[in-house]
Structures are given as C-alpha cells and as structure tokens.
Amino acid sequence: MDLYPEFRAALGALLPSRKSSLLIACSGGPDSMALWDLAERWEEETGGRVVLGHINHGLRGRASDADERFVRAESSRRHTPFFSAAVPVKAFARREGRSLEDAARVLRYRALARLARAAGCPVVAAAHTLDDQAETVFLHLLRGTGPLGLAGMPPSSPWPVPNDDTTPEHESLRRPRLLRPLLSISKSRLRAYLKSRRIPFRVDASNDSPVFLRNRIRPILKKWEALRPGLRRRIARLSEIQRDEEAHWTSRWRREFPSLFRRKNAALRLEPARFKRYDRCEQRRLLRAAFRRLDFDGLEKTRALALSPGPTGRVSVPGGWIEKKGRALVFRPYTPKGPSATTAAPRPQRLSVPGRISFRDAWKARHWEIRAEPVKRLPRDWRRDPLRVYVDADRLGATLFCRTWRPGDRFQPLGLAGRKKLQDFFVDEKLPRQTRKETPLLENSNGIVWVVGHRIADAVKLTPRTRRLLKLEARRELSA
C-alpha cells in the first residue's frame, strides 16, 4: 500500500512552495516514522528540505531516553539533520497547576518552535491522523463545544501555543506554521505502509495509560467502529464540512464586521438596530468574532446585554467582564491582583466521599472537575501525576469542601514538621500570583488537605497503618 501519492497531494496543498524547509515532529512512534519516510520521498522528488525534531518529555524515564536514542540513530542512518530538546513536564505541571497531558503539549510546541527557528524551517509537520481527528472531535463533544469545536484540527494552522516569556521579541515574530498532512490517513493504513517499507518504530506504553482522557475514549471509539465500520472516517468528514462552514462565516464577518462594530481603544461600538436584525445564531457568531474568549454562557449573557434597552450594564465572562456604555461594549480583564471588588469568591463546594464536583475559580477562567473515589491498591505510577493523589481515607473524613485561597490560610505540607502560611508555600513553589488565586483547595473539618496540583497535607498521607485508600483527582479545562 503506497500512501505517497496521497501524501504528496496533501502536503503540496499546504506548503508555501515546493522547495520549502520542513521540520518533522518525530517521537519515534509509528505515525511520525511514517510521516518522516513520506517526507523524505517528497524531499527526493522536489528538492525540498527535511529536518527532524524530537522532544524528550522525560515522563517515562529510561524509555523516553531510549526513544531519543532511537530517533537520533535513525536520523544518522538516513542522513537527516536532527534537532532535539528536553522539557521539564512534571515541574511545569506543578508550577502551572496543569495536567501532565496539557503541560506536555504546551512545552512540546514551545520546544518545537525553538527547534524550527534553529533549523531555519518556516513550517512544522505533525503526524496527526484521521483517528486522531475523530478522537479530538469526540473529546470536544465530551467537554462541551460549538461549531468551531466540531471542525477539529485544521490541516494547516497558526502555531497553537504562545511562546514562553523568555523568547526574545524578534523571535516571537517567527513562529512556524503547523501542518497536518496525514489527517485523511488512518493509523491502520500507516501501519501497513510501515510494514511494506520495513520501517522500524517505537511503541509508547503511556498511549494505553488510563491517566489521559484521550486514551480512555480510544477503546470506546474502537468498539463503535466495529459496530459501525467507517465511523472515524465519517467523524473526520464532519470536521472537514464544519471547517468549510467556519471559513464561510469568517469571510462574511470580515466584510460585515466594520459596519457593525467600530473599534476605539478597547471598546467596540455596537450598532444595536442592525444587530437586532440578525438571527440568533448570527448574533452569536458576531460576538464570538468580537470577543473570542467567550464560552457559550458568556456569549448568551453578552448577547442579552447587547439587546437590552438600558444604556449601561455589565456581565461577568471568563477572564474579566463585558461592560455596556451607551452603544459601546468593552471587555475589561481582571487584573493580576484578582477579581473586582464586586466579584465575590466562589462559595465552598461540598464534595462527598465518594463523589465528584465541577468547580470554577472567582475569575471563571478555569473549570475543574474534582473526584474522590476509593481504590483497593496503588498503581505503579501513583506518584506520576500531580493532579492525582492518594490519601488515607480514614484520616480524611467523609466530607470535603473545595474553595480557593483566602488571606491567612495555613496548612502542613507533606513532609514538613509544622504548619506554614499558604502564601509562603506558593512563593516557595514559584507560583505566579494569578495561578495562586485560581488554584482549588480541598479541606476537611481540620483544615486544608490538598493544594490541588501541588501537595497534600501531611495529616492525610499514606502510612503503614493505612487500611483504606482514597484517590483524589482533578482535571482542568479552560472555559473559553
């Protein structure tokens, strides 16, 4: 099965020129090894340039290092320029209050951007497949999405994450473009291609780990595919149709936006008479174009504000609030010092054991799902994820409350002999000010038992006397 003609057509439609320099993001797994081989055939045919980039996440110890050695050895054998970088995923996840999956994604893209600049490559190719597209759309549905989420991953897109604060300003203007030339090709076809070409690859055992939500839904989609063959391809086709729809609407709003909104500084002057003539779905799209960070609830509140007869008003939205002054709508972000004086901190939410809750911080910028459930034994990787901890159920109690930081909070971190101010703990952990006040805290009747994503309290740690285990797990999503 030769996939090259299909690949050549897909890549040719995405590249700025036939002789572009292309960095291949290669983990050593089957998908990226197939992408590398296909790209080398394109290089031989067109005279383009292919460079290899490998990111070592350091999450699997010796296995991660073995992956890097494998890709390096293959690049030497194939005479392909090789660039690599190591990223501190665990430390970054703890510091930023992110899941390991999210932290790995952010650091991977930041590092790939640096490698692309060093290699002189304006574009980076990733080995996202048709199967990955179906999983992405399904994940968006699980988390809640609109038309844009159904569009999934585009074949070509701007760089997906911003640079870190240490990136020189002149380099920030040189972010590469991200290409996904394998979106129409399934993993099974790529495996057959590798077999026919006798191409070696590595297998990442963490792809089967239930720690990551994507890995948990993969077997579900596999079962559904068996019931309805072609399911993944139909989901991918849906995303393609939706991308075309989004492109149409985007083009239309670019033409109509200037006559509806007049921008002055941070304000958008709304023409209410014209706005009211649009259909509800069109009003939503207009406001989404104006205020891109809005989630659905924020869109509906802002739409109601825009249609209200009063000359003033204000609604809270993720990251700040939108204020109405006459015919102007103004988005005002919350300052690093915290919410406005009129924005109350969220009330503590009760978490029964076992049970789960959804929790938003005072800014409504982060949405958390927090679970408490008993387990019979510790998994091998029980210390791996800072957003998943195990505690002594008998020392914890049957009821917990979730809240955010308050002045004067104290707790005894695991391994510390005495109590300390939570503020001092945050400083020691090098948490940014904004992150400190967005971080959920779990407490029982005796005080704070878990600073989510960072440390449990010494009082609930596991000991040789522990009889019942309890797993506490948190997952974070951006609301906008």
Q: 43-88, pLDDT tens digit by residue?
A: 999 999 999 999 999 888 899 999 999 999 999 999 999 999 999 9
Q: Which of 101, 112, 114 is nearest to 32 (CA)?
A: 112
> According to the model, what pLDDT value does residue 364 have?
47
Q: Between 102 and 117, name the one with better pLDDT.
A: 117
Expressed as residue numbers, the domain containing 415 is: 349-478
User: Does the pLDDT value for residue 39 go beyond 80?
Assistant: yes
Do residues 128 and 280 lie in contact, with contact meaning Cβ atoms separated by under 8 Å? Answer: no
User: Does the pLDDT value for residue 363 go beyond 90?
Assistant: no
Pairing verdict, β 123-125 and 177-179: parallel
For residue 212, give the amino acid letter. F
> According to the model, what pLDDT value does residue 324 have?
82
Q: Between 262 and 329, name the one with better pLDDT.
A: 329
CATH number of residue 302's parent domain? 3.30.465.60
Whether residues 293 and 155 fall in one domain? no
Whether residues 205 and 281 fall in one domain? no
Residue 91 belongs to some domain of the structure: yes
Question: What's the token pair of residue 108?
Answer: 């991977």
Instruction: Determine which of 140-154, 238-252, 324-338, 359-373 has the lowest per-residue pLDDT on average.
Output: 324-338
Whether residues 102 and 231 fall in one domain? yes
Whether residues 159 and 287 fall in one domain? no
Residue 136 belongs to some domain of the structure: yes
User: Does the pLDDT value for residue 116 go beyond 90?
Assistant: yes
> According to the model, what pLDDT value does residue 339 have?
44
Whether residues 319 and 462 fall in one domain? no
Q: 91-111, pLDDT tens digit by residue?
A: 888 777 677 888 889 999 999
CATH number of residue 42's parent domain? 3.40.50.620
> How many domains does the chain divide into?
3
Residue 383 belongs to some domain of the structure: yes
Residues 266-302 as b/e (b if ≥16 CB within 10 A, e otherwise) read: ebbebeeeebeeeeeeebbbbbbbbbebbbeebbbbb
Whether residues 290 and 213 fall in one domain? no
Contacts of residue 467, Cβ cutoff 8 Å, sequence gap at least 6: 394
Query: Residue 101 and residue 136: Cα distance in Å, rounded?
Result: 14
Q: Between 193 and 421, name the one with better pLDDT.
A: 193
Whether residues 23 and 168 fall in one domain? yes
Query: Residue 74 and residue 82: Cα distance in Å, rounded?
Result: 10
Residue 53 belongs to some domain of the structure: yes
Residue 342 belongs to some domain of the structure: no
> According to the model, what pLDDT value does residue 145 have?
82
> According to the model, what pLDDT value does residue 459 have?
92
pLDDT interval class at 282 (50, 70, 90): confident
Do residues 212 and 93 lie in contact, with contact meaning Cβ atoms separated by under 8 Å? Answer: no
Mean pLDDT computed over 17-32: 92
User: Does the pLDDT value for residue 451 go beyond 70?
Assistant: yes
Which residues on adjacent β-strands are paired with residue 312? 325
> According to the model, what pLDDT value does residue 480 have?
38
Whether residues 367 and 325 fall in one domain? no
> According to the model, what pLDDT value does residue 174 have?
66
Residue 343 belongs to some domain of the structure: no
pLDDT interval class at 265 (50, 70, 90): low
Residue 251 belongs to some domain of the structure: no
